Amino acid sequence: MATKFSYSTLRDHAALFSQGLPILTYHKVGPKPRGVKWRSLYAGPRFFARQMAELAGAGYRTANLGETRPAVGNAARKFVITFDDGYVNVLRYAAPVLARHGFTAIQFIVAGGIGGSNAWDIAEGERATPLMDAAQIGDWLAAGHEIGSHTVSHPRLTQIPAARQREEIFASKRRLEDRFGRPVRHFCYPYGDWNEAVRDLVSEAGYATACTHLESGVNTAATPDHALLRIEARYPRRNLRWLWRGLLNGWA
């Protein structure tokens, strides 16, 4: 497996971002409620705003997953913003920041969870967090953003029978397209869990791209469309370097 990068500040990633198209991964944006089990899945509103302002200030513009990737480098300073699972907090806290910079993003929706909550996490002891309902997804789309599929029920795809894999991959696309009246061209593997059989089904279903999660790095024309690399955006580890930088930047 490639090195696992995590994105907190552009300074640490400027060299990497110049080598190919970076695709940032976010889950939840907003104040972290008490008792959250997986804290790293939260980006605070100020932290998110700072990351976006920093990229905009450095001349970065957002790209869509379907755009042709350059053979080498990232001369146009493009990047992609992805949000997994479809949380309401993204609409509330991230969408205004995106609008301020003229950025667009994609939310990967769990087609069977619209208007519900993250049942797959709750089963593992996490707090419930609301997922966008159909009207909220409509607002997201109306703001110029995109949706992709994150299956019907968020399973670990390599660990379910082939018939269910097919259902999760095909039916989620169909349901989202029927409900929102537009093509759903991008897929994201829940938990970043995929293998060749799963990838082949995603391709057969007609998705133009699929995002991984565990594989990390930037993308070029040589990166397989159905195994795009992403970089997880998260707070830096709280060591002395983090504290020092935080004090300098006023966000510690």
Residue 232 in the binding site for Zn ion (CB under 5 A): no
Of 79-87, 174-182, 227-235, 236-244: span binding Zn ion (CB under 5 A): 79-87
Contact between 121 and Zn ion by CB under 5 A: the answer reads no
Of 17, 49, 74, 84, the one binding Zn ion by CB under 5 A: 84
- Contact status, residue 111 vs residue 132, Cβ threshold 8 Å: no
Please list the alpha-helical segments (H only) found in 9-145.
Answer: 14-17, 45-57, 88-89, 95-101, 119-122, 134-142
CB nearer Zn ion, residue 63 or residue 157: 157
Stretch that binds Zn ion, among 57-65, 139-147, 176-184, 185-193 (CB under 5 A): 185-193
Q: What are 188's two structure tokens?
A: 């994201």
What whole-number distance in Å separates Cα of residue 121 and Cα of residue 128? 8
Out of 85, 146, 168, 225, point to the residue binding Zn ion (CB under 5 A).
85
* Least distance from Zn ion to the Cβ atom of residue 88, Å: 15
The C-alpha atoms of residue 62 and residue 84 are separated, in whole angstroms, by: 17
Please identify, among the stretches 44-52, 82-90, 130-138, 215-223, the one whose residues bind Zn ion according to the rule CB under 5 A. 82-90
Q: Are strands 106-109 and 146-149 parallel, antiparallel or unpaired?
A: parallel
Binding site for Zn ion (CB under 5 A): 84-85, 190
